[in-house]
Structure formats: structure tokens, C-alpha cells
A and B are shown apart, each in its own frame.
Chain A
């Protein structure tokens, strides 16, 4: 699924969408940048409430497909500028991180039995 398809499926707000055709490999939810840097995987959609400009830097370092700001968080102007400059997809939703993660998982078609317990 591409970022554009996800955006439409989840009715996301598109703060900037310079690379709509990027494929989404899965999701990562979290707000501590050092954890995201160390654990998110290439192509992941990242759900977070953090909106400072280092968020864009982490997204580039980790090769994420998009950032989704949850809880109706608005991007800092510096984050939006940085995303435009670096070509990062920045989206938003009014859903909380839990609900947005659940919805993302559903949209990506991941079912419970795919998870190794």
C-alpha cells in the first residue's frame, strides 16, 4: 500500500505529501526519538505526538515512508519546513495513537494470526 492510498483509507490530513507513491512496510508507534531511531524499520509509517524538527531528521535517518501526527497534533513550523525540504510525507489524524495504530494495522491487512506470540 502506498502512502497516498493509506492517507485516503484513513482520511488523514496531508500537511505535506512530496512522495505519495512510497510503499508502507508496516508501522511504528512511539514518541522517544532514540527508540524510533533504533527500532523503526525502513518504510514504516511512524505514529507520534512529537512535532519538533528532529522528528524529520529521524524519519530521514530511518528511511520511513511517512510520519503521522496523532491526537490532532499540529506540526511545528520548523518541522513542516524540514519535511518539505527533505521530501518527507507528513500526515495527521485526530485519532489517538492507540486507535490510529489499530486502524493502520487493519488497513494494512495485518491479522492477529500473523503475529508471532
Chain B
């Protein structure tokens, strides 16, 4: 068994709110430089930059996981992780079809850039990716599983786009096996809530730019082998409780 530093919520220049300099390959490189061994790219409603991210992770001897930060119909952000790039991209195509036909206003939201593993900009996404999909929160777990994915709500302690702020409480019927917390969430804030008792939770950087990447990993997972099925098993079974 070995311990691996991880972060499973990272954005690239495809997210309008991220810097244009947050190229997927460079985000991978910067996390590797800080000592991370497992990293997931989770742009808003798209896996469109996951391919170059995974190639860069390989290059830096880090396990890369293709993912997405899905925005549900209730505007709750949910992290969806996948075992293969093919599954992720199929899921991404489906999510894209559920987004309203609203164009991105670059002057208001920022650019949505596709890039390759060498850092070349290869295209631009015209549809506004931070919009809400028509996928309801109660559908997400099962939908992700249809693509061999694992889904759990992002930054539940935040005051916007979070499960607790938008829906009020953790309903086990949603089926989520764990939750993500911000690093800024105080240890005891959620301990008082009955609805979260015993809930498994991990923290995430939600890094949109280099400056938000910590100098060292804040959490680790212990695995027999460094692969995505083992990461999923750890998250479902061994992640710490709130």
C-alpha cells in the first residue's frame, strides 16, 4: 500500500471562469510539481479538455481522471468522474445536449478554450457551459453510473451552487455516497447537522488558476494500485467521515 496525494476538482481554460493560461496540460504539470499523484479535470458541463489533460498526467507520472463539474437543473454542482476517456466523452456529449441554447458572452463570463497537450488553442466553445443542464439532482447518480461513472455533490458548504444552499438538506434518496467540501470549510461547521452524520467527505481545491494550486497535497488516499477503479473504491469505502 502506498499513499497518494490527490485533488479531484480542477478546471482548465474551457471553464469561462478559469484563466486562459490554465491550459489542461499546464494544470496537470503544476499539480504534479506540487507532489500530487492523482488529479481529475472537472470543467463546467464538459469533458472537452480531458484528453490533453490525461496525456499530460501520463507524461508527469500522475494518474489522471476524466471528469466534469455538472450543473444540475437545480443549479447544484456535482462532480462526475469516469474510468475511461471514452465514457467521459459520451457522457459529455449527452450533457451538452441538455444545455440551453444560450451563447457564451465572452466579455461577461470569459473565454471557453479547447487546447491540446502541447498547449495550442485548438478551438473555442460557443455555448455557455456554466448554464444549468436539464438533468435533475435525483437523476445524476444513476445517469453517471450508466457511463461507469461516480458522482457526488461539489463544495456542499458553499453559499451558492451547492446542494445544501440550493436544496436545504442532504436527502439520502439522491443516492450520493460521498460529498466534497471546500478547503475553507471549518472542521466543525457540518458536524452539527444531523442530516450529514456519518457522511463520507473529501476536500478539493476547485483550482481555476495556478495561484490556487497548493504547494503540497492536503489529503492522501492509500491504494494497492494506482488506477481509477481503486480510486473509486477508496472514495466509496475508505474516504473519511464528516
- Give me the interface of A with B, judged by CB distance under 8 Å: 32-34, 37-38, 50, 52, 54, 56-57, 60-61, 86
Contacts and interface: CB of A to CB of B under 8 A. Distances in A.
A57 B131 CA distance: 12
Interface residues of B, number: 11
A89 B109 CA distance: 19
B26 interface: no
Interface of B: 74-75, 100, 102, 105, 108-109, 130-132, 160
B199 to A, nearest CB: 25
A38 B108 contact: no
B105 A32 contact: no
Nearest to A35: B132
A57 B75 contact: no
Contact of B105 (A34, A50, A57): A57
A54 B161 CA distance: 11
Given A57-B105, A57-B109, A34 B132 contact: yes
Given A33-B75, A52-B160, 9 more contacts: A34-B75, A34-B132, A37-B100, A37-B102, A38-B102, A54-B109, A57-B109, A60-B108, A61-B105
A34 B160 contact: no
Contacts of B108: 56-57, 60-61, 86
A52 B75 CA distance: 14
